[in-house]
Amino acid sequence: MASIHPTAVIDSTAQVADDAVVGPWCVVGPKVTVGPRTILRNHVVIESHTRLGADNVLYPFSSIGGTPQDRKYRGEETWLEIGDRNHIREQVTIHRGTTTGGGATRIGDGNLLMVGAHVAHDCRLGNDITVANAVLFAGHVHVGDGATIGGNAAFHHFVTVGACALVGGLARVAKDVPPYLIVEGSPARIRGHNHIQMTRRGASERAIDAVRTAYRRLFCEAGATMTTRIEELRAEFTDIAQVHELCDALVASAGGVHGRALERLRSDDKRSVPAMWQPQSAAAAAQPGPQA
């Protein structure tokens, strides 16, 4: 039987796994699922329509599954879906999705969301992402696997952060962040390539060297157009998936609106979002430059 403190309030429609822990003064609302070995420490609020997987830990005064902060929202049934092994620290807020954004906010596995971070409606966070204190994700932001987000960084709605990207603290991010690169500043600008995270996630030395070369040619050298440089990199590194992901991301951003590929979802263009903007699986895995 689940360990539920007598001061906790559990809605009759909620489902709590037999080996989950619900600590003092927690509130678990309607249509909530708390998965195996998940721990709600104390004073945690799960408002409604939330599915939590296994081995998650939610810290005091975190509040998830709340109503989306969207003026178009009219009380439709939408969801928050969280995977396994996530640590959601104190005062983190995560809101449910909207019908215009697909009906769900989704967070994958193995993520760390530090104190005071906010994940708005319809965001998509992949796996093994580190989000530092007081980071603000506006609606519809996508973050790829292995990304690292510095404290107090703020993201415009519909921004995409690629796999293994690093966003510096206090960055103001209004455009897509390409995978494997480093951005910082206000507005955020590309500063380098994230060889440290690539190494941690098992990328080969050849792949790391290829991304380093791609970064220098794309953002540090004058001469050929960006289109020409991308074509040359694709031809030279035919077997390096990371270089192709980087090139694909740049093409998608350029074809989007205001440097945001996902912004097309708000336009009359109903084409599907390019696959490179979906979170990458773990297995797939300076100089000032253009704004990100």
Residues with a catalytic annotation lie at 121-122, 139
3-state secondary structure of 104: strand
* Both structure tokens of 101: 């954004």
Residue with tokens 């979170």: 279
Instruction: Classify burial at 15, counting beta carbons within 10 Å of its beta carbon; exposed 0-12, middle 13-18, buried 19 or more.
Output: middle
| Contact in structure between 105 and 99 (CB atoms under 8 Å) | no
* Separation between Cα atoms, residue 107 and residue 32, nearest integer Å: 15
Q: In angstroms, what CA-CA distances link 104 with 42, 80, 186?
A: 26, 5, 30
Among residues 244, 166, 240, 163, the alpha carbon closest in space to that of 205 is found at 240
Q: Is the dihedral of CA 277, 285, 54, 44 positive or negative?
A: negative
Instruction: Classify burial at 99, counting beta carbons within 10 Å of its beta carbon; exposed 0-12, middle 13-18, buried 19 or more.
Output: middle
> Which amino acid does the sequence have at 104?
A
